[in-house]
Amino acid sequence: MQFHQQKTAFPSIFQPLDLGYTSLANRIIMGSMHTGLEEEKNFNRLAAFYKERAQAGVGMIITGGFSPNWFGMLTPFSAKISNEKEAQKHEVLTETVHQYQSKIILQLLHAGRYGYHPWNVAPSAIKAPINIFTPWKMSKRGIYQTIKSFVHSAVLAKKAGYDGVEIMGSEGYLINQFIASRTNQRTDAWGGIYQNRIRFPLEIVKGIRQELGYEFIIVFRLSMLDLVSEGSSWEEIVILAKALEAEGVSLINTGIGWHEARIPTIASMVPHEAFTFVTKHLKKEIKTPLIAVNRINHPEQAENIIASKMADCVAMARPFLADPAWVEKARHGQSDLINVCIACNQACLDQVFKKQVASCLVNPFACREQEMVVDAVHRAKKLAVVGAGPAGLAFAKIAAQRGHQVTLFEKHSEIGGQFNLAKKVPGKEVYQATIDYFKAQLALLEVDIRLNTEANSERLKDFDEVIIATGVRPR
């Protein structure tokens, strides 16, 4: 398929990427993130979530992680794809995304010793510091069966309409546990020297290629910085990357840090583009397209990464929770209208770890696309919103989008409310981005903002409705 590149303020990220038998429309990937919708009986809500991102033009979507078998689940009865019945549920996802010429990739994730259940397995019986369960040491037969499970799940993914799979080989999950001496203390052909420890991921890739051929995308998520003791050295990472290239992976994605690592990798205090240097270094060693990740929020950052040849693609996950139209806005040079992820992790990671459906602090519509629909009103009203903190700003924006005439009263000299305090905390300067977003959106929607103006009965008497959004007490 040929893609015609439109003129844009960010030409590098909107270049197609040739993968040989197929192409990506652009260099922007929605990276894997677990939302909690993967565990539902049907995937209609997940399809609606992906639809908005595909509709806006993202080049490729990588799903949340699905285990290839029972032993690899993250928690009891969490997402897996191991039989035809489970695979059929996925067809609504692939059909939805393909309507908009985006690619969709299924992530295969075996949790290994991170599985929060008593039947988790690992190369060695070494308990993870973040788990209460000690894993069962995998037998040789168990290893071969697990490789077959990965291959079988990839076959099921193709039948369900996926363009490919991503093999999760980082973040300290099973494959990473085989690779690192920290967790692999075997003395057989699957442990010991590095060539033995990387045999497991290479056999998985080889098996999928043999079964499905080269007209199927294989992304390998490679841990380029383990950030734990006894992890892989840089020399070892390069060896594995070259071996994966030889086995025919389509793209290599960047993984940063094990879940048990003590070094922050995605929190707000982590600088933007903090880990692109590893992808840049690996790009000198191999020809396989590389994907840069972590703390890439703005089109300007993504453009710099691709234009500077630090990577071939950028993958963002949480930014697509914050704004499903990220790609569309970037294409039209509307960076100021992008609702920026503030890396608070409160409604995404925190909720998923509590086994709740994810959402987003700055975009509560995320993962609730079917429930929270913004329709035009039948009769427009004159609305007064009192208080220009996050709640008042959000209400004013949605009300104006629906067609109401909105006036926003704020007794202080600037909008933002308590976000103006939060942004002063070191590491939380990004909260200013949310304030800037609302400034741009409300200007576009012609909301009348009255600063340094305290609402009173005289000023409010001519409005149809008054909305009180004067804030909460800090906890």
Alpha carbon separation from 166 to 170, 171, 251 (Å, rounded): 11, 14, 9
Question: Which is nearest to 202 in space by CA: 169, 158, 164?
Answer: 169
Residue 315's DSSP bridge partners are: 29
User: Within a 10 A sphere around the Cβ of 421, how many other Cβ atoms?
Assistant: 12
User: What is d(CA 6, CA 169) in angstroms, rounded to the nearest whole number?
Assistant: 35
Kindly state the helix (H) or strand (E) to which residue 140 belongs, with its residue range: helix 140-159
DSSP calls for 35-50? -SGGGSSS-HHHHHHH
Residue type, 188: D
Contact in structure between 105 and 217 (CB atoms under 8 Å): yes
Half-sphere exposure of 24 (CA within 13 A, CB side): 31
* Count of C-beta atoms within a 10 Å radius of residue 156: 22
Q: Is 173 a catalytic residue?
A: yes
Tally of CB atoms within 10 A around 432:
17
Cα separation, 325 vs 347, in Å, equals 19
One-letter amino acid of 414: E
Please check whether residue 336 is in contact with residue 440, taking contact to mean a CB–CB distance below 8 angstroms: yes
Q: Are 345 and 267 in contact (CB under 8 A)?
A: yes
Cα dist from 111 to 73, 164, 168, 249, 344, whole Å? 6, 20, 9, 21, 25
Classify 180 as helix, strand or coil: coil
**Cβ-count burial of 284 within 10 angstroms (0-12 exposed, 13-18 middle, 19+ buried)?**
exposed
Which is the catalytic residue, given 50, 114, 162, 173? 173
What are the structure tokens assigned to 179, written together?
């690779």
* Pairing state between β 382-386 and 465-468: parallel
Residue from 394, 334, 397, 366 nearest 52 by CA:
366
Tokens of 307: 């234009």
Alpha carbons 275 and 219: distance in angstroms, whole number: 19
What region does 286 belong to: left with phi over 0, alpha with psi -120 to 50, or beta?
beta
Q: Which residues are catalytic?
A: 173
